[in-house]
Amino acid sequence: MSRAYLLLDRIQIANLADRLFELTGRASVHSLYRHTAYSDLDSVGPLLTEVLPDSPLERVFWQAWSATAGIWLESEADELQVLEHLRGLVHARVEGGATVFFRFYDPRVTASWLADLPFLERDRLMGPIRLIRLPGLEIRQQAAQPAIPYAQQPWLGLAAEQLDHLDTARRESFDRQLIEHVRRHFPGSLKSLDVCALRQWASDCQSSAARSGFSAVDEVLIWSRLPAVLGRDFPDGSEHGVYRQLLTEPGVTPHQRLDNLNHALTQQLLTEKDLAP
């Protein structure tokens, strides 16, 4: 009988283990980095957990996490075989012999990596996983294959062209997500921009967020409110001094810093509304 699993990115989902316990009441999870050379990073590694149809966990996954923070897997193999195979994918060998982490559980990477491969190669890479469900896409195996276990030396190899393709696809996917987010929440800010200008806006927004120490997906989405409302020169404009002070305030976590910036913006907008004739 086929069972369904979620492979979730702990970096993208705050307090993931606690969230899973809240949603399932049991939170039986497996860390992919455990029992690998990366066990020291276990606290930030991806987690695998079973998911039941029509459950609160399934609803939250499709509503909040499926675009950027995890993938849905189905397999008729037992849980240990699935886990064994997934652990084998956590790193890859690239040209020159270097080993790199492989974030195959990012749905944007998954789609770009597997969707266009020849069936035989795709089946080998999916191992005992019969189906991967992504937003708007299902990747199916032709015939189940045995699990390929984790090894200190990666069995998975990625060519330079593949890496470039995966990185480009990930960036383009997030650009679209960022633009749609801003259009939905701040509809007036981008209405005059054509396609090229929208892409440039998205790139500039991500660059300004990165310069200020914010690069995670959720951080950039929160940050986008600031240049959307205050202008694309944020936070370098002459009128942004208060915000630059908040950005350099010592002893403040990144999450709290974003909260402080958005609180300051809300206060500014309320003040401007009160002063309007």
pLDDT tens profile 222-254: 999 999 999 989 999 999 999 999 999 999 888
Query: So what's the pLDDT on residue 175?
Result: 86
> Under 8 Å CB-to-CB from 271, ≥6 apart: which residues?
none
> Would you call 231 helix, strand, or coil by DSSP?
coil
Give the span between the Cα atoms of 206 and 67, in whole angstroms.
Answer: 18
In this predicted model, which residue has the larger pLDDT, 166 or 92? 92
pLDDT band, residue 274 (cuts 50/70/90):
low
Mean pLDDT of the chain: 89
pLDDT at 276 over 70: no
For residue 275, pLDDT over 80 is answered with no
Q: Tell me: the pLDDT tens digits for 200-225?
A: 999 999 999 999 988 877 888 899 99
40-44, 61-65, 168-172, 194-198: the lowest-pLDDT one: 168-172
Residue 138: count other Cβ atoms within 10 Å of its Cβ.
11
* CB neighbourhood size of 36 (10 A): 19
156-183 per-position pLDDT tens digit? 998 888 878 787 777 887 888 889 889 8
More confident: 195 or 275: 195
Contact 205, 212 (CB under 8 A): no
Report pLDDT for 168: 79
